[in-house]
Structure formats: C-alpha cells, structure tokens
Chain A
Amino acid sequence: MSPFREASLTALREIRRNLGSTKGIAMFVLFVLGGSVPSLLELAAVKLLGRDPTQGMSPDDQRMLLEQGLARVYPEETAKHLSYCPPILFLLFQLTLFFAPFFVLLIGFDQIAGDIQHRAIRYIAGRSRRESIVVGKALGVWAVISVMLLVLHITVWIVVAATGTTTAAALLSWGPRIWLFSVAACASFAGLTGLISSFFRTPIVALLVGVVVFVALWIIAKIFGWIEATKVAAWALPFKYEDLVVSHQPLRVLGGIGAYIGWGAVMTAAASLVVKRRDI
C-alpha cells in the first residue's frame, strides 16, 4: 500500500473523528459564532460613533479612504489592490490570521500526543508507516479547520449579503479568495501543531507549549519585521507570508500560498521524523 493511501485513510478518519467528537462540535459552534464577530464589530462601531462613518460618502471615496488606511501598512500597489476588498472580509482575514493558530492548536494539540498517551497509536502503527500517520493526521486537522473556516466565512458572506454593505460581485470575487488565503495560512499552523504534539506524551502539555510557541513566534516575527537588519529573517516564519498572498501580483499570491503550505509541510516532515524515531 502506498504511503499516500495510508495517509488519506488516516486523514479521513481524523476528519470523521474530529467532526463527530464533542470537541469538534464545540469548535464548529465556536466558528459559526465567530463568523458573526466581524459583523458585530461593524455594528458596534456604527453604534459607538452614533452614525455610519462612511455615511454620505460615495463608494469611490470610501475605497480611497480605505486605500489610504491600508497604505500605512502595505505597499502602495497592494493597498490599492486591497481597497477593492469589502472591509468586513478583510477584517475577517486579519482576525482569521490572528486567531487561526490557536484554533488549529485547539483542534490538533492532541492529535499525536493523545494517541501516544493512551497508546492508541499502537493499533495503527503496526499497519501504517508512522510518517503516513503523522501526515494523515496533519491533513485531517487541516481539512477540519478548512471546513470550519468555510462555515465561518459563509456566515459572514450571508451577513454581508443580507445587510447589503457590499456588492455581490465583490463578495463573490473576494470571499472565496480570502477563505483560500486563510486555509493556506492554516496549513502552516497545522504542521507546527503536529510537530509540537509529536514531542509530548501528555496532550495538555502539548497545548500549553503550543500556546507559548505560537505567541513567541508571533512576537519574534513582529520584532524581525520592525528591525531593518532582520527583516529578511522574518520570511523564515509563516506570519510574513501574508505580504505575498495579499499582493496584486498573481505569482506572488501563488508563491504566498505555496510558502504557507510548504512551511506546514516542512513542520509535518519534522513531526514524522520525531514520531518515527521515538518509542510509542
């Protein structure tokens, strides 16, 4: 049997297991609720200001205002490109990038550590290469988070369509793209989660260490990005790849998606090596 077949069988099992478990259902509900956060934020802003800040502005003026704001963070061309994205979807993307590592961690922290703790992995290890088990689990977690993100994003799309704050064309053009970028970003975090989980026998330890590692990497990435001399080093971490996927250049976008997935693949390969060498 090929390793791909082994990995796909394990991935399908992980999907079934996650979506059918209490934890999976709780996460699913959390994601649906999370989908309404950007909409609630928009409504809250309107309420706090007492009026819609864009009230009375033409769509072009609104876009120009957004572009000016984005230009503070992104290069001019990228800011212009992103100004066409419905703000609520862009906000959703930012929130996803910020929270995704923790969502992935919550779903996958016990994927390997949990099986090693209770030795359930022994039922599988005699039938499948350990590398395939790790890859299958990572793919399974990635697939589950992708489905949950889709639910979250669709919730936002529905809210946006219902409130009429953006055009259907913009929604159809940017909605799936933003979801795809979010999914790609999650590949990195699914890989890293798998690697962290592979080191430990106790899932809660994997979870706590995972939180520390994710926060530490996020801080390191920010520091690298601020200091001119270390800006190049920031590309070693997935947080930087956002610059690529939001680009107006399709090749850079593809490069960014590839970088996210590639980084996740490297982490998964490292996790495979750890599990292959360790006693189970």
Chain B
Amino acid sequence: METEKAVPDATEPAAPSAADAPPSEGTPAAEGSTSPSESALPFSATGQPAPKKKGKAKLKASDKPAAIDLKGVVKQFGNVTAVNDVTFEVPDGSVFGLIGPNGAGKTTTFSMLAGYLAPTSGEIYVLDRLPTAVDELRGQVGVLPQDALLPGQEKVGPFLVYLAELQGMSPGEAKTAVESVLTEVEGLPWWNMRCGQLSHGMAKRVGLAQALLGNPRVVLLDEPTAGLDPRVAYGVRQIVRSRKGRSTLVISSHNLQELEEICDYAAILDRGVLVAHGTMSELTASSHEIRIELAAGPVPLDAVRTVQGVTTAGWDKASRELSVTFDRQQADAEEMIRRVIYVLYQYNARVSGIAKGRGLEQRVMELTE
C-alpha cells in the first residue's frame, strides 16, 4: 500500500486542537488483558506493519486454560520442513482459526493436532494429553479431516454408528447420537445412502456430523466449507456458530471472511512458520486502528493527528483511505471513531466508509508472501 502524507488544503479551516475534540464518555478499559506493546503481533511503534519477521511468535497470554498446546513443533518430510518451531495455545472454549496460504503448513499442523502425523520434534497436547492417546481422549475430540474420503461402499447411518460405538457408546446410544448429528446437518434422509453416492456438499456435512458425534470438547475442522455452494457453506457456518461456547473449535480455512466472522483467536502460518497469533481483534488491529474512506474533498490529516489518543494517522491516496492508530488505553475503537468523525465533520470531509482494523484478509496479505 502506498502511504503518503496528505497536505491539508489551503481552504481547510484551522485544525481544531485536541481540546476542541468532542467530550469523551470516559476512557474505557482496553480490550483484552494485553497492551499493544505486549501483543504478539509484529507491529512497529508507529502502528504500521513492521518488516516481516519470520520466526516463533510469542503467545499472547490468555486467562483461559489451554485446550490445545503446541510447543516448538517441527514437522519434516525428508529434507522439507513443513512446520518449523510453531508454538501457540488454543484457549479452552474458543473458536480458533488456523490461517495461511497454500503450503503454509496449516493442514500439516492440523494433522498433527489430530494425531495423524507425528511431529519430528516438539510437543503437542490436546486436553493435556498427547493427540495419539486415543483411549484417554475417546469421545472428547472430533475431527473433520480435509481430504479424507468417506468409505464409498458403506452406508451413511451404519458407518456413523460404527464410529459412535468406537467412541464408547452402546449400540442404542450410538444410533440416537447419529440421528441427532445427522439431523443437525440436515442429513437424516441419507441414512441408507452409500457414502459413495453423496455429493460433495452432502459428504462434507456427513463428515461434519461425524466430527460432532457425542458433543466432543474439542472439534477440529479442516476446510469445513471448501468447495461448498454458498447456501450449504452458510449452513455449515451456522452449525459451527451453534457450537460456539459448547466446544473448543479449531478451524483451518482459506476463507478469511468466514474465519473473521466466526473466530475469537487465530494463528497465521506462512511457509511453515507462525507469523502472528492472538485474538481476532488484535490480528485485525480492530482494537487499535480505524480506517476511514473519504470521498473527494478535504483530507484534514494534521487535524486528525491532534485528536486525543491518536498515535499515528496515514493517508493512502490510491484507496483514499485514512488509517488512524490509537492508544487503546485511552479510548476504544468506537470512542475513537466518534472523535475522528467529529473532526472530519468540522473540516467538511466526506466520509464514504468506516472500518475497525484492517480486515483479516489484508492482515494476512501483509504478513504472508
């Protein structure tokens, strides 16, 4: 993004000082328990993205206990290092996104969390157990693998009943549980269909149903909406949302808009390295940055800089976007929007749009190559 300093128009009125800013409703407490300086995000003091620094990112402290804990995890396939020294925690009860471009190591990390792949080095704990401790984790972890085919010759109902029985349910309990999850994914009529006869969307929903069998404490979903039409994808997202609070959900996906909507926390991987992680508001900078799109007309950048709490203000001529970072100890995003808009109003600036933070997509684009 080309960022340049905007020079106030000669016709602009004198900039109101910070004292002229509208009365504040008080300084709300900052979001989260971590100050920006403590954030795991690679930001410079100016609020602009710091030069990319690949390496182990420091985990943001969370009040919640970790449902999943990765410590210095490395996975090599021959000479290729797919995941390199990744460390993060997934807070219990959260919805956690695993983000990154193709080849970033998402699916490899995901597969290690599920116990499909063994890490070359490092430690992984799911509910304080090794992911391969099947007996201890029985019924507590549900997984939707990305590219695992359902057995084509088997019927949906009996196959899911078999999986439920492996989770320790009696045949009766298993049948009830399978009916319940198939109902949840609107797949009960497929009970007697062979898995090989299912369309991609139906198979994905059956896959989701098996992951949700028995209400597991941790649900790992790898690309749950990939390849689905918008209606089915929406349905899947609704199901995932309905699980929020009931389970710890880890979602690996390319669909950043979807993750931004659903997730509380996320980790961004690039080329096997963790480049950022934290709460979604930290990742999108929505707790300390606002972006205001202005239509043609005055751009009172200097006036905005004088607003109480503003740390930096930049102007992108190409996108006509004013980006403002602020000290979130002094004001939250909503308060800062109010103050800045007040100033813009005074300078007759014409506002086209307002957003908190940069959006996950933009953040990922900045952080990954």
Q: Which of A's residues lie within 8 Å of B, judged by CB? A: 1, 6, 9-10, 13, 16-17, 20-22, 115, 118-129, 277, 279-280
Contact = CB atoms under 8 A, between A and B. Distances in A.
A20 B192 CA distance: 13
A107 to B, nearest CB: 14
Contacts of A9: 162, 165-166
Contacts of B118: 277, 279
A185 to B, nearest CB: 28
B192 to A, nearest CB: 12
A279 B292 CA distance: 49
Given A16-B158, A127-B134, 20 more contacts: A1-B135, A10-B166, A13-B154, A13-B162, A17-B151, A115-B151, A118-B148, A118-B149, A120-B149, A122-B148, A123-B148, A123-B163, A124-B163, A125-B116, A126-B137, A127-B167, A277-B118, A279-B111, A279-B116, A279-B117
Nearest to B151: A120
Contacts of A17: 151, 153-154
Contacts of A21: 153
Interface in B205-243: 210
Nearest to B166: A127
Contacts of A1: 135, 138, 166, 168
A13 B160 CA distance: 11
B143 A122 contact: yes
B316 to A, nearest CB: 45
Contact of B145 (A10, A20, A123, A279): A123
Given A9-B162, A120-B148, A127 B153 contact: no
Interface residues of B, number: 29
A121 B151 CA distance: 9
Interface of A is mostly: helix
Interface string B101-137: 0000000000100111110000000000000001101
B149 A119 contact: yes
B2 interface: no
A230 to B, nearest CB: 39
Contacts of B134: 125-129
A126 B135 contact: no
Contacts, number: 69
A153 to B, nearest CB: 27
17 contacts: A13-B162, A17-B151, A21-B153, A115-B151, A122-B116, A122-B143, A123-B210, A124-B166, A126-B137, A126-B142, A127-B138, A127-B163, A129-B135, A277-B118, A279-B116, A279-B117, A280-B116
Nearest to A18: B153
A125 B138 CA distance: 11
A122 to B, nearest CB: 4
A17 to B, nearest CB: 6
Contacts of A121: 148
Contacts of A16: 154, 158
Contacts of A6: 166
Contacts of A120: 148-151
Contacts of A20: 153
Contacts of B135: 1, 129
Contacts of B141: 126
Nearest to A24: B153
B147 interface: yes
Nearest to A136: B166
Contacts of A122: 114, 116, 143, 145, 148
Contacts of B147: 119
A119 B114 CA distance: 13
B30 to A, nearest CB: 39
A58 B48 CA distance: 105
B226 to A, nearest CB: 15
Contacts of A127: 134, 138, 163, 166-167
A277 B163 CA distance: 22
B36 to A, nearest CB: 39
A123 B154 CA distance: 13
Nearest to A22: B153
Interface in B73-98: none
Contacts of A10: 166
Contacts of A13: 154, 162
Contact of A123 (B117, B150, B153): B150
